[in-house]
Amino acid sequence: MGLIVTENITVDGVIDATEGWFAPSGEEADVDNSDIEAVVQEHMAEQEALLLGRRTFEEMRGYWPRQTDDTTGISDHLNRVQKYVVSSTLEDPEWENTTVLRGIGEMRALEGAVGLTGSMNLAHQLIEAGLVDGYRLFVYPVVLGRGTRLFEGATGLPELRLVDCRAFRSGVAFMSYRARS
């Protein structure tokens, strides 16, 4: 399966959520996201490890382990799955099942189904290094016109083939791509 980058992304390609267009699962009480949650659960079942950049890791570590009433299974998965955080400064990850990697060179030794989410800087490095095997994009019906984009400045990418596409009740669309070999 290899390294799969999963991102919540706007129609215009922005993955930077600082504008408030995306909230973690369950925070939008008036929206039925059960169809999205079912797909996320499928992905979690396939995932053997999770790769994160330091900032995303610290944000997730500060949020998900404290979600005692999470019915989506996300917090259970994140607490259980083997996590790798790429950081040159982090010493003690303070989250069970976490290994600190000092650079993407150490990441090359990872095997199996590894997922990456968020982690914009790390995603860009991995894309540039040609280490991404596929993309799972949850496309939100939002146009920001500014912000960090997933493929910002990316050149020389392999051709991608669509392997899955779904529309959800909320207006979010899911597209899964694999690199053509």
Output the CA–CA distances (angstroms, integers) from residue 125 to 39, 103, 155, 163, in the order listed.
Answer: 27, 10, 12, 24
22 pLDDT above the threshold of 80: no
- Among 9-18, 21-30, 120-129, the range scoring the smallest mean pLDDT is 21-30
Q: Note down the domain range covering 72.
A: 3-19+30-179
Q: How many domains does the chain have?
A: 1
Flag whether 90 is in a domain.
Answer: yes
Flag whether 13 is in a domain.
Answer: yes
Please tell me what DSSP assigns to residue 14.
Answer: B
Flag whether 167 is in a domain.
Answer: yes
- Among 30-39, 78-87, 93-102, 156-165, the range scoring the smallest mean pLDDT is 30-39
How do beta strands 114-117 and 160-167 pair? unpaired
Amino acid at 125: Q
Flag whether 24 is in a domain.
Answer: no
pLDDT of residue 1: 64
The C-alpha atoms of residue 93 and residue 100 are separated, in whole angstroms, by: 7
Percent of the chain with pLDDT over 90: 75
Give the residue among 176, 177, 168 at the shortest CA–CA distance from 25: 168
What's the predicted TM-score (pTM) here?
Answer: 0.91
84 pLDDT above the threshold of 60: yes
CATH number of the structural domain spanning residue 133: 3.40.430.10
pLDDT grade for 26, boundaries at 50, 70 and 90: very low
Flag whether 25 is in a domain.
Answer: no
Output the CA–CA distances (angstroms, integers) from residue 63 to 67, 113, 123, in the order listed.
Answer: 7, 24, 21
pLDDT (tens digit per residue) in 147-161: 999 998 888 788 999
- Please say whether the dihedral angle defined by the alpha carbons of residues 140, 53, 134 and 42, taken in this order, is positive or negative: negative
Output the CA–CA distances (angstroms, integers) from residue 137 to 131, 140, 175, in the order listed.
Answer: 17, 9, 5
From first CA to last CA, the distance across the chain in angstroms is 13
